[in-house]
Structure formats: C-alpha cells, structure tokens
Amino acid sequence: MFYRKKQENHWQSISDLMTGLMVIFLFVCLGFLYQLNQVRQKYNMERQAIYEELNQEFKPEEIAKWGAQIDDKTLSVTFIEPAIFFKANSSNVNPKFKDVLDEFFPRYIKVLQKHSDSILEVRIEGNASREWNGDPNSAEAYYYNMKLSQDRAFNVLQYVYAMPSVSSEREWLQEKLRAN
C-alpha cells in the first residue's frame, strides 16, 4: 500500500475566503435593495396621498374651467391654454390668469404644506411658443424664447408670492418655490 502525503493547497484557503467575501457582499446588496424598495414604497405612497388630496381639493369642473391638468405620476399641474395666460410675445400675466391663480394657488399651497417634509421644491415653469417671424431654428429665436419662458415663470412667481392670501406662508415659499 502506498500512502500519499497530504499536501496543503493554499488555493483552497483563498477560495474559501473569496466565498465568504461574496456572501458578505450578497447580504450587503440585499440590505441595500431592501432599503431602496422601502424608500420607493414610501415615495409612491406619499405621491399618491398628495395626488388624492389635490383631487379632493380641486373638483374636475374647476380644473376644466382653468384649463389645467394634474399629472398623477409627476404631480405637475399644467395650465394648457397659454393664449389665455399670456399674450403672444409677452411675459405679463393676463388678468384672467391672475384670477385663476387667485383661486388655485393658496389652496394648492395648503395641500402641499401638509407634506412639506417630502417636498424639495415647487417649480413654476414657463413656456414660449416656437413660432417666430424668422427662422425658428436660429440662435436668435432660441434665446428669445428662452428669455420669454423664464420671464413668464418669474412673473408668475412674483405674482403668487405677493398674494395677500399666502402672506403667512412666505417663509415656506422662499424655501420651496422656484421659477424655471
């Protein structure tokens, strides 16, 4: 009978070490994915709660009268009829749009403030038409429309910020409200 001398294999030790590290890495990843899923669920629940409160606050007839839409995924409130809110090539807020903002904005802010910890910012975004007397693809048209949309957003921000009905919320508005 022949007996072989058992040789130690250092690769087996390294393999065991790598397996142990991989198991640790797997548990770290699973923990991270669990936390990520918890955050996503909390975000979706909070978004849904805000959407439902907005729908309770604003009746469909009001939303239709204002020419607005509330997106359930982004919580964006979009006013669809720009001709009603601004004259062509103007950044001045029309009186009719001021009336809409007077009805809409204080109630909107009241709903959002209930979820203040979950809201990073409230953006007012301005838009401009792509119509242009010259070449709509020119740099001049691009700059003009960019300035017009920014001026429109800024003028809406100035108007809603100055509303007497939101004067008690000005500190919150300064923290959260942005014009883009």
The radius of gyration computed from the CA coordinates of the chain, to the nearest angstrom, equals: 28
pLDDT digits (tens, 9 = 90+) for 82-124: 667 888 888 899 999 999 999 999 999 999 999 988 899 999 9
CA distances from 149 to 62, 90, 129, 153 (A): 25, 9, 9, 6
- Under the banding of pLDDT at 50, 70 and 90, the label for residue 177 is very high
Average pLDDT over residues 72-88: 84
pLDDT digits (tens, 9 = 90+) for 124-142: 998 887 666 666 677 888 8
Average pLDDT over residues 61-77: 91
Q: pTM, whole model, 2 decimals?
A: 0.77
